[in-house]
Amino acid sequence: MQEQLDLWYKSRSGLYSAAPRTLGLAAAFDLLSKDRVSELVNNARRDIDKYAFQYANGNDALQQGIKAQHEIALDLYDQDQQAPIELNVEPGYSGPTPLAGRGGKNFTTVSAVLYSPLSRGRSHITSTNATAQPAVDPVYLSHPMDVAVLIGGVQATRKVLRAPPLNSIFVEEFEPGTDIGGSDKRVEAYIRNVAGGDNHEVGTMPMMPRSLGGVVDTELKVYGIYNVRIVDAGIIPMPISSHLAATIYMIGEKVRDPFC
């Protein structure tokens, strides 16, 4: 492994050069002006009870838990410590247009992924049959902060393509397309039409106090059930600015701790 790392740092060759994509995280102030972020944070704090009630689905304890999560997230935005967007560059096409509509062109895709949504979805059982699929409603882009930040992320991808070094190979913008200009409203319409999930689901069984709607305690034991534990991404109470694999490994290691 060290040999491969040395090759990468010396000549950008070896196994590490074979990664299919590269990515980075953008802070809110990288995407939006400080005044715009402050406006969004102030509005979100003003409406915090409204959205906590909306996302709690009638669960009074969970309403308080969601409010606490939003307060933490908004404090991070205020301090420019929130990294809400992943910018992901990969060879080839990754988008909504079927192959027949791509005109036989070659592509490089720059995606904007919302890592830290304030929107909260819900899932429910649909049957007493344990093998039946649950009903899932992700409620994407239902919070104004999410919409504004993702617009900023998409606009950033468009700028990246036109800036060094990618401008040396940039030919044209396929999607959203130059016909929408720089309009945030038209970018929002595009996002709402094509956006989907990115497999970073968390929070279905959050590790929080029971009084805040939590499902497991700090030993990962389900409240009210003897010696049953949850050991997966569902216990993470709020989205994190990272891919989940390393965090889930840590959760698995925690179960092996003596106190568990």
pLDDT tens profile 132-170: 999 999 999 999 999 999 999 999 999 988 999 889 988
* Residue 89 belongs to some domain of the structure: yes
Angle between helices 34-46 and 60-78 (to 10 degrees): 160
Which tokens go with 68?
């606490």
CATH number at residue 192: 3.30.560.10
Same domain membership, residue 224 and residue 181: no
Catalytic residues: 200
Average pLDDT value over all residues in the chain:
92
Return all residues near 162 (Cβ < 8 A) that are at least 6 apart: 170
For residue 43, the Cα-to-chain-centroid distance in whole angstroms is: 21
pLDDT at 17 over 70: yes
Q: d(Cα 94, Cα 109) in Å, to the nearest integer? A: 6
* Section 236-246 average pLDDT: 90
pLDDT at 205: 92
Residue of 147, 201, 121 whose CA lies nearest to 31: 147
**Residue 10, in any domain of the structure:** no
Residues 156 and 223 in one domain: no
Q: For residue 194, give the 3-state DSSP assignment.
A: helix
* One domain, residues 47 and 168: yes
| Statement to judge: residues 248 and 232 lie in one domain | yes
DSSP state, 9?
A: H
The total number of structural domains in the chain stands at: 2
Please check whether residue 237 lies inside any domain of the structure: yes
53, pLDDT greater than 80 = yes
Q: What is the pLDDT of residues 205-240, one digit of tens each?
A: 999 999 999 999 998 999 999 889 999 999 999 998
Q: What's the pLDDT score for residue 18?
A: 75
Q: Within this chain, do residues 182 and 209 fall inside the same structural domain, yes or no?
A: no
| For residue 88, pLDDT beyond 70 | yes
| In a shared domain, residues 185 and 109 | yes
Within 10 angstroms of residue 237's Cβ, the number of other Cβ atoms is: 22
Tokens 């239902």, residue located: 142
Task: Say how far apart CA 131 and CA 128 lie, in whole Å.
Answer: 9
Q: Let me know whether 27 and 56 are in one domain.
A: yes
Nearest to 82 by CA among 157, 23, 26: 26
Q: Which domain holds residue 258?
A: 201-260
H helix or E strand, kind and range, residue 189: helix 184-194
9 within a domain of the structure (yes/no):
no
Residues 77 and 37: beta-carbon distance below 8 Å: yes
Same domain, 173 and 244: no
45 and 61 in a single domain? The answer is: yes
